Chain A
Amino acid sequence: MEETKPPGDPQQIAAMVERAEAGDSAARDALFASLYNELHNLAESHIRRSSGQLTMGATTLLHEAYLDLNSRSHVAFPDRLRFLKYASRAMRGLVIDYVRTKRAQKRGGEITFIPISEENVSTVAAPSSIEALGPVLDELGQLDPALAELVDLKFFCGFSFGEIATMRGVSERTVQRDWAKARVLLHDALQNGPLSGSGL
C-alpha cells in the first residue's frame, strides 16, 4: 500500500474525472463547464457551416465531441462511458439554454420539438416547459443520480433504451423500468412543485 500515484499527470481531464469521482464538486462543475464549452463550440461551428441551421442530433454531437477530445490525446477521457456520464449532463444544460435562447428570439412563440428516433410520425407534444425541467432534474440528481443520468441520456441525448442498457450492462427491461420511475418522479415534482426534502 506504500505506493500511490502522485499528482501532476498531464492528462487534465482524467485528473478532473478522478477528482470529481472522489466527491469533489468543484472538479465536477469544472468538468461540466469544459464539456459544455466543447459541445457548444461544436454546435456553433456546425451551425455556421450549415448556414444557420443545426441539423445534427445530440448523439452525433456527443460523438463528435468525443472524437475531438480524444484526438487531443492529453485531454482524453479515461473511457467512453465516463465521457457519456458527464457529457450527457452537459448536453442537458446546452439543450435547455438553446431552448431558452430560441424562446427569447421568438418572443414567447410556441416551441415544438421533434422526435429524433422515429421518422414520419405525428407531432409530439413537448413538456410544457423544458426550462422547468432543469431544476427538477437537479433535485432528482440529488435523490437518485442514476435516474437523472438516464433522463439526460434518453431525453436530452436521444439514446435508445437498448443503447443505454448496453452502456450500463443491464437488461433493457431494467432501463425501461428505471425510465418509468424517473418519469413518474419528474411528473410528480412538476405537478406538486419542488418541496425541498423537508421530510415526508
Chain B
Amino acid sequence: MFRLDREHWRELSPLLDQALDLDAAARNALLADLERRRPELALVLARLLSGHDQLLGSGFLETSLRLDDAPTLAGHTVGPYTLEAPLGMGGMGTVWRARRSDGRFEGAVAVKLLNLALLGEHGDERFQREGTLLARLTHDHIARLLDAGVTSTGQPYLVLELVDGTRIDRFADDQRLDPTGRLELFLQVLDAVAHAHANLVIHRDLKPSNILVGAKGQVKLLDFGIARLLEENVPAQATLTGPAAHALTPEYAAPEQARGEPVTTATDVYALGVLLHLLLTGRHPTGEGCRTPADQLRALLERDAVRASDAVAASPAEEAAERAARRGSTPDRLRRLYGGDVDNLLAKALDKYPGRRYPSVTAFTEDVRRFLNHEPLSVRGQAWSYRAAKFVRRHRWPVAAGVIAFAMLAAGLVIVNRQRQIAESRFRQLRHLSQQVFELDARIDDLPGSATARQELVAMSLEYLEGLARDARGNLEVLQEVSDGYWRVARIQGVPVALSLGNLAKAEESLKKADELVHTILAVRPRDRRALARSAAVAGDRMMVASSERRDTDALAHAQRAVGRMEALLNEAPLSRSERDDAFAVYGNAANLCVNLHRYDEAIRYARRQVELAKLEPPAPRAESYGLSVIANALRSQGELDRALETIREARKALDRDTTLSNDTRRMVSRYPLLLREAYILGKDRGISLDRPDEAAVLLREAFEMHEAGVRRDPNDMTSRERVGTTGLELGDILRWRDPHGALAVYDIALARLAENRNSVKARRDRALLLARSSYALRRLERRAEARGRIDDALAILKETQDYPADRVSLESPIYSVLQARADQHVDEGKLAEAVQQYKDLLERVMVGRPDVEHDLRDAYGLSLLYQDFARVHRAAGTPDEADALDARRLALWRQWNQTRPNNPFVRRQLAALDAGTTSTR
C-alpha cells in the first residue's frame, strides 16, 4: 500500500521520526542526503512529509470514534428545540447544537441532555426550580443558561448559550501566551466566578474543559451551578457514594469534596488555584503522575501541592523546556518569576483547609492584580511546611475507606448508600471489592513506579477484609465472601498462576486466611458445594506457592488436600462445567507436581482421574490429552517406555479429536509438547528412552523447522524462538555423534534464536547448555580451539546466573553438562590428569546432592552414565583398575534395580549392555 514493505519501512521509520522534528531547511538537507544514497526512499519520505504538512490542523483522525447511537437523535425535538448535530459528550451527558422549533429565537443554542442516572429521585421539580434561578445569572464571561426542563419522556435537559471557543489551557498554549497574558486571561475567569458567588451560585466543577476562550480572547464559563442541579438532597457525607460523585472530576476536586464535606465558595477558590497552577506551569499541582481516579484522590488528600517554581523545572528537562517555550520563556526564568509571590499566592488558594484559603474570589483577584502591578501581596511566606498529612494521620481510616470507595466507584460500581440497611450494603461492598480488586490492581499495575500505591491498595483491601470478617460474626455467607476476598487478593499478591506482584510470602499469608475461613464454613457445613470448590482452589493455589518456594513437603500436603476436597465435591453430585474445569486445574497441577517430586504412582493416579473426568459428557479432549501426557511422562521416568509411547500417542489422538482445533497449523502448535515428549520417549540422547534416535530425530526436526519458519514469518514471535532453542538442543544432541556438521548447524541456529530472545535466566542457561553441547560436534570436526572457547563462554554465562561455582551439582542441571564438557575437552586435548581430577570432582559434587539412585530411575541412569564416562577416562589415562571399580559400582546399581523392579525393560537393557561390555549410548 505504501509502496513499502517491512524492510523498507524499518529503514524509513527512524528517518521519518527524525525529519518530523526538523525545520524545513534541515528537512531538505536530510532529503537531499537521502536522495544521493537511497533515491527511492527519499521519494517516499518526501511524499509522507508533505502529507504530514497537509494534515496539520486538518483534524484527520484527531477525534476518537465512539460507538454512539446519538446521531439518530438528530431531528428530534426536546421541548421547543430541534436537535441538529452533536457537539460533544461529557460525564454528565451529551451536548447538541439545536434551534428553536417555534421560530421565536433565531440563533443556535446548545442543548445538554443529562444522563438520567444522574438525576436523583424527586429531581424533576427541583431541577426546574433551580434551573430558573441559574437562568438569571447573566455575565459577559458566563455562558447563559437559557432554559431547563424535563421532556415528557422524562429526559432532563439544559439549554445554554452556544459558545464557540477553545479550552482555556489549550488556547493559552496555542497562542503561546506568556505568564502575564495567562494571568490576564485568568482574571476574566475570576471576574465571572466572583459575579456568580455574589449571586450565591457556586460552580463546583471548574476545570479547563468548562472554560472556553473565543477567537477574540473572550472567556466563557460553562456549566455554572449545574453540578448542584444534580445533587440529591442527601447528607453531606454520602456525596462520595451518592449520585453526585459521578459529576465530580477528581483532578479538579477540592479536598473537602473528596471527603464529602459541604461545598462552599472556598471550593471554587481551590479549583481556581488548580487552574492557575496548570496555566502557569503546564502541570497539575498534586496529581502529576496519577493516572487513576483513586491515585488522584489520594494525592489530593495526602500530597502537598508542588510549588509552581519547582513544577516548571520538573524533569524531564526536554519537556520542561518545551512547556516553558510555550510560555515564551525558559524553565530558569519561570522559576525566578514564580518563586516568592506566585508560590505564595497559589499556596493560599490551594490550602487543604477551606478556612485558610482566600476568603473570597475578590481577595484572590486582588492579589493577582497586585502581582501584575509588581505590588506587595496580601499573603507572604505562606507556610509550605504545613503538612495536611497531619489531618490524614488523624483520620487515617476514613480516608482509606474513602479511597477504596472512590476507587470502586471509578471501577464502575454502585455502592449502596450507607444510610440504608448497613449490613446488606456492607455485604455487597465486600462482594464488589472481592470481585473488583483484580481490576483495580490491573489499573494501578499499568503505572510505572507505583509499586507503593499498589501495595497500599492491597494493604487497605486487607484491612477492609479484616474489619468485615470481624463484623461477620458467624454469618457464613459473609465469611464465604471474605474468604473469596482473601483468595483474590492473594492472586494479586503472588500466586504464580497469573500476573501478580510476585510476593509469594504475602500471597501465602492471604491464602492461609482464606483457607481458615473456608475451613470454618466446612466445619459447620461439610458438604457445602461452593465451600468445597473454593477450598480445593485455595489449597491448589497454596500448592503452587509452596512449589515455587521449593517447599516440597508443604506443596505435596496442599496438593493432597486439594485433591481430597475435590473428591468430596465429586461425591456430592456430578460436577458443573466450571467445577469440572476447576477439577482439571487441581488434578493436572497436582499430577505435575508429583512428577517433579518423582512420586510417579501418585502422579499417574491424579492424571488418570483427570482423564476419567475429561471423558464424561461433554468430552474435554484437551484436558484428556494433558492427563495422558503427564501419565506418559511418569511412565517414561520409570522406564516403562513401551507403555509411555502408547500413552503419548493416545494423547495425540485425543488432541486430534478437539474440534476447536480444526486448522493444521494450530494443531501443530498445540501438538508441540506432545511431539517433544514422544521424541524423548523414542530416543532422547543420554536419557531414558527406547534408544530409537532416528525416529526421535524425525519428530524433532519437524518441530525445529516448523518453529524456525514461525520465527522467520513473525520476528516478534518469542515462543517459537524458545522452541527453536529447545528442539535445536535435543536434535543437535542426537546428531552430534553421527553428523557433527549437521549438529553444529542446528546448534548454531538455536543459539542465534535464543540470543534474540529476552534475556531471561532460563534463556541464558539454555544458551550455556547449547554452547557446551556443541563443543562435542566441534571437537569431532577437529575445531578444538572453538570448542574450548564455547565451553569458557558457557561457564561465564553460568557465573552470571550464579549457577557456578557450585558445591552441589544435580545430574540434570546445565552446570553438570558444562563441567562435563570441560572435562571431556581435556581428554581430547590429552590433558588426562586434569580430566581425571575434574571427573572426580564432578562425581563428588553430584554425590553431595544425594541423588536418589535407589528409587529414582532418572537419577540412577544419570549416575550410571557418569560412572561409565569416568571409567572411559580412567582407561585412557592408564588407570584401568579405577575404571573397573567404577564399572563394578555400575553393575551393582543395576543389579539392585533388577531386584526391586524385575522385568523392567529399561533396567534389563542396562544389564545386557554391561554384560556385553558395550556402551548403550554412543
Contact = CB atoms under 8 A, between A and B. Distances in A.
A198 B13 contact: no
Contacts of A26: 662-663, 665-666
A186 to B, nearest CB: 7
Interface in B614-643: 620, 622-627, 629-630, 633
B436 interface: yes
B401 interface: no
Interface in A33-56: 43, 47, 52-56
Contacts of A126: 63, 65
A6 B625 contact: yes
Interface in A100-158: 102, 111-127, 130, 136, 139-140, 142-145, 151, 154-158
Chain A interface size, under 10 / 10 to 19 / 20 to 34 / 35 or more: 35 or more
B491 to A, nearest CB: 10
Given A19-B670, A130-B65, A136-B1, A116 B71 contact: no
A157 B64 contact: yes
Given A1-B766, A23-B710, A192-B47, 4 more contacts: A53-B69, A71-B435, A78-B499, A200-B8
A19 B677 CA distance: 19
Contacts of B115: 55
Contact of A120 (B54, B110, B436): B110
14 contacts: A8-B588, A8-B655, A21-B718, A25-B665, A57-B66, A57-B89, A116-B66, A118-B88, A123-B87, A124-B63, A181-B17, A187-B60, A197-B2, A200-B3
A52 B629 CA distance: 51
B355 interface: no
Interface stretch (B186-194, B578-586, B848-856): B578-586
B52 A70 contact: no
A198 B447 contact: no
Given A119-B89, A189-B2, A95 B67 contact: yes
A53 B70 contact: yes
A111 B51 contact: no
Interface string B84-118: 01111111001101000000000000100001000
B851 to A, nearest CB: 16
Nearest to A72: B578
Given A6-B630, A23-B714, A151-B61, A1 B726 contact: yes
Given A130-B65, A144-B13, A197 B720 contact: no
Given A6-B677, A8-B588, A67 B720 contact: no
A54 B69 CA distance: 5
Contact of A80 (B4, B446, B684): B446
Contact of A10 (B68, B411, B623): B623
Of all A-B residue pairs in the complex, the 5 with the closest CB atoms, nearest first, are A8-B626, A119-B90, A158-B64, A6-B629, A8-B622
Contacts of A111: 71
B623 A197 contact: no
A10 B497 CA distance: 13
Contact of B88 (A10, A54, A114, A171): A114
Given A143-B9, A144-B9, A183 B1 contact: no
B877 interface: no
Interface stretch (B37-45, B358-366, B538-546): B37-45
State the main secondary structure of chain B at its contact with A: helix
Interface residues of B, number: 124
A61 B67 contact: yes
B217 to A, nearest CB: 17
B65 A155 contact: yes
B86 A124 contact: no
Contacts of A121: 87-88, 166-167
B626 A9 contact: yes
Contacts of A6: 625-626, 629-630, 633, 651, 673-674, 677
A163 B47 CA distance: 31
A156 B3 contact: no
Contacts of A23: 710, 713-714, 717, 720
Contacts of B65: 58, 95, 113, 116, 126, 130, 155-156, 158
A29 to B, nearest CB: 9
Contacts of A95: 65, 67
A124 B2 contact: no
B13 A181 contact: yes
B88 A189 contact: no
A119 B5 contact: no
B17 A22 contact: no
B778 to A, nearest CB: 20
Contacts of B465: none
Contact of A166 (B166, B446, B720): B446
B157 to A, nearest CB: 14
B919 interface: no
A189 B61 CA distance: 14
Interface string B315-337: 01011000000000000000000
Interface string A1-18: 111111111101001001
B412 interface: yes
Contact of B66 (A21, A102, A113, A198): A113
Nearest to B207: A119
A131 to B, nearest CB: 12
A114 B448 contact: no
Interface string B390-431: 000000000000000000000110000000000000000000
B212 interface: yes
Nearest to A176: B20
Nearest to B676: A4
B117 to A, nearest CB: 10
A22 to B, nearest CB: 4
Contacts of B138: none
B71 A119 contact: no
